[in-house]
Amino acid sequence: MASSKPVSPGIRMIVGLGNPGAEYERTRHNAGFRFVDRLAHEGGSSFRIERKFQAQVARVTLGGEDVWLVKPETFMNLSGQAVVALALFYRFLPDQILVAHDELDLPAGDVRMKQGGGVAGHNGLKDIRARLSNADFWRMRIGIGHPRELGLRQDVADFVLHPPRREEERAIDDAIERGLAVVGMAVAGEFMKAMTKLHTSPPTGAAS
């Protein structure tokens, strides 16, 4: 008898990457935290610290499906600890995980979604990939721009750990909004539909 389960299981865990603590809250590196914070707020849920997972966890219902939202408490470079702990406990496969993160290779205001691929030096993604031993998780890439392209004399480490300028912050918030608009499709396993909608919606872009 054929299984009624869809070929694509859809997203069941959404991980926002960032660093815990008030001093990091508005930094560029915490775009992923902001993404899942918005999801929790819109879903009428709130985060609680789950020490066994070394993470803050919330649960929302999207399209009739329970989805776990995760903010690792381990700081960026060890993000994979929480991801693997939750994935093993709930038996989530890598392709049921969506990681929202800041992306230097996209301008502020742009947002893209993809599965797998390289990590472009992003330490949070690097740790997740290493601990999962698999790169098939999905990514919501929230553009923050690159200091070189913005004409700033900052190294990357300093740039990501500072708040964006006002016009960049508005653009990042717009990108987060557009990413949120396709999450329901990803949960339903409609990945191509989600990417088409996301990638054809024009970015606002940061003012010059």
DSSP state of 154: -
162 is catalytic: no
How far apart CA 143 and CA 202 sit, in angstroms, is 13
- Pair 181, 173: CB distance under 8 Å: no
- The values of phi and psi at residue 171, to 5°, are -65, -40
Write down the catalytic residue from 29, 101, 122, 146. 29
Residue with token string 């929480």 = 82
Cβ burial of 202 (10 Å; 0-12, 13-18, 19+) is: exposed
- Annotated catalytic sites, by residue? 29
